[in-house]
Amino acid sequence: MSRQPFQPLADELYDLLGERVTQDEALCREHGVGYSHHACQPPDLVVYPHSTEEVAAVVAICARHQVPVVPFGAGTSVEGQVVALRGGVCIDLRQMHQVVEVSYPDMYVTVQAGVTRNQLDELLEGSGFFFPIGPGVNATLGGMASTRASGTNAVRYGTMKDNVLALTVVLPDGQIIRTGSKARKSSTGYDLTRLFVGSEGTLGVITELTLRLHPYPEAIRAAVCAFPTVEAAVNTAITTIQKGIPIAKVELLDTVMMRAVNQYSDLNYVEQPTLFLEFHGSEGEVEEQVRKVQQYAAENGAADFLWASDEATRTRLWRARIDAAPAALALVPGSRLMGTDVCVPISRLTQCIHETLADAEETGLLAPLVGHVGDGNFHLTLLIHPDDPEGFEKAKALNERLVLRALALEGTCSGEHGIGMGKLPYMPLEHKEALDVMRAIKKAIDPDNRMNPGKLLP
């Protein structure tokens, strides 16, 4: 198809959705880039459906005209998942923001795909339940499922794949299917729910989700603790996990990132490698968790813990972690962020981080580090100025060395950001022959390769 849509296609979409179809150049460009450093490639037009049936009608029209379809949530993906490599129709799901059903007795909620993480938090406030998956931005829940998002709670509560019970999905021909159920488990057939979770819109458009809710903990305590070295901080986190402590959050910020957040958020934390921790459970369970982790930290030369129990103080204590991305960007005014993302077995995390920080220092790039170290996942925040092409090439090379290092340590090229177009070159290295099985699934469901083409699978 050309970069301009066929007029009959546009006419059919206008007849279906009226003013909820746009070919405005500025709006199309907004839908062609996301949060990534990848160059903008806009769709030819954008549609804003309100229901699963409208999504199905849009997809069916695109199928008849053999036009690519790119699903769009909040546009917060960082690996180019929303870049319209072949133009086509962008389906913006943000106006599908209805809560369909809440069942506190059965601990689930069903929402349309455009409901955001913050919207769900507001709904659940005061209910005694919460949804634990939270990336660092106000993403849509459909987008979070599509990229298999996780976040700071993943070490205890898992990722999106562990917290999605059922989906409504529109397939490439416009057919609507429902996967999973409201039961807590099932042993019936292929697990289609988890097939679509993490598929990045390459197999269909997720329009509704049934999500697992968790009881709000009786007691929560948060802590911040500085360490003499990154290795000491990471080793404390690893010991905590290996000893079976059910810690809810354990996040690492290195010295450069701590300096950045102190400057950005007007804080006065010690500028050393620092763990941010949170403990959930009954009062007795939390006290026991705290006692043991303090012991592990002391054995690694930790400074005194800063503690918080009430919500307001916990929020202030965690502000540095929450502000990490904008704080890093503020170190180099006018810069853009290239966020790396690898995950390795926790026994090899110390080695991977040590070698990566040494590599960054030798390269001469400013690269603050933040990590979900409880599950072996960490990020470098590479700061790229648009007027520094040499720096951009150095950053890409550093990112590639990091990925290859993680794969050599039997890890993965992405723990939570997904593949999009940014990590495509590493899929054959990581999955080898299994990639052919993924291609066979893609071919069976989307034989014309119209669903978010050019993403996830080389």
Return the pLDDT at 3.
47
Return the pLDDT at 223.
94
Q: Please say if the pLDDT value at position 156 is more than 50.
A: yes
pLDDT band for 67, please (50, 70, 90 cuts).
very high
**Cross-sheet strand order for the sheet of 108-112:** 99-103, 108-112, 205-212, 164-170, 176-180
CB 87 within 8 A of CB 96: no
Enter the CATH code of domain 219-324. Answer: 3.30.70.2190
**Closest to 156 in 3D by CA, of 273, 294, 281:** 281
Return the pLDDT at 34.
82
CATH of 332-418, one of 3.30.70.2740, 1.10.150.120, 3.90.320.10, 3.40.50.970: 3.30.70.2740
Neighbours of 457 (CB within 10 A): 20
Which two three-digit tokens encode residue 208? 């509704």
Enter the CATH code of domain 99-215. Answer: 3.30.465.10
Fold agreement between 219-324 and 332-418: yes
CA dihedral 38, 42, 47, 51 (to 10 degrees): -20
Return the pLDDT at 297.
97
Lowest mean pLDDT among 47-61, 110-124, 170-184, 297-311: 297-311
CA max distance for the chain: 70
Rounded to the nearest integer, the mean pLDDT of the chain is 94
Q: What is the mean pLDDT of residues 120-148?
A: 95
CA dihedral 240, 156, 244, 220 (to 10 degrees): 70
pLDDT band for 276, please (50, 70, 90 cuts).
very high
CA 222 to CA 65: how far, in whole Å? 54
Q: Where are the domains of the chain?
A: 7-92, 99-215, 219-324, 332-418
Q: What is the mean pLDDT of residues 264-281?
A: 95
Q: If you search the block for the tokens 């849009």, which residue do you land on?
A: 58
CB 145 within 8 A of CB 178: no
Q: Please say if the pLDDT value at position 125 is more than 60.
A: yes
Q: Please say if the pLDDT value at position 2 is more than 50.
A: no
- Read off the pLDDT of residues 32-55 as tens digits, 9 standing for 90 and up: 998 878 889 999 999 999 999 999
Give strand pairing partners of 457: none
Return the pLDDT at 5.
53
Q: What is the mean pLDDT of residues 414-424?
A: 94
CB 451 within 8 A of CB 203: yes
pLDDT band for 135, please (50, 70, 90 cuts).
confident
Q: What is the mean pLDDT of residues 80-105?
A: 97
CA 35 to CA 126: how far, in whole Å? 32
SS3 content of the chain, % helix, strand, coil (to 5): 40, 20, 40
CB 23 within 8 A of CB 7: no
CA dihedral 43, 41, 432, 406 (to 10 degrees): -130
CATH of 7-92, one of 3.50.50.60, 3.40.50.720, 3.40.640.10, 3.30.43.10: 3.30.43.10
Q: Please say if the pLDDT value at position 142 is more than 70.
A: yes
**Closest to 164 in 3D by CA, of 202, 191, 125, 201:** 191
Q: What is the mean pLDDT of residues 153-162?
A: 96
Q: What is the mean pLDDT of residues 194-204?
A: 98
Neighbours of 100 (CB within 10 A): 13
DSSP string of 282-311, one letter each residue: -HHHHHHHHHHHHHHHHHTT--PPEEE-SH
Question: Which three-class secondary structure state does DSSP give residue 107?
Answer: coil
Q: What is the mean pLDDT of residues 73-87?
A: 94
Q: What is the mean pLDDT of residues 260-284?
A: 95
- Read off the pLDDT of residues 368-398 as tens digits, 9 standing for 90 and up: 999 999 999 999 999 888 888 999 999 999 9
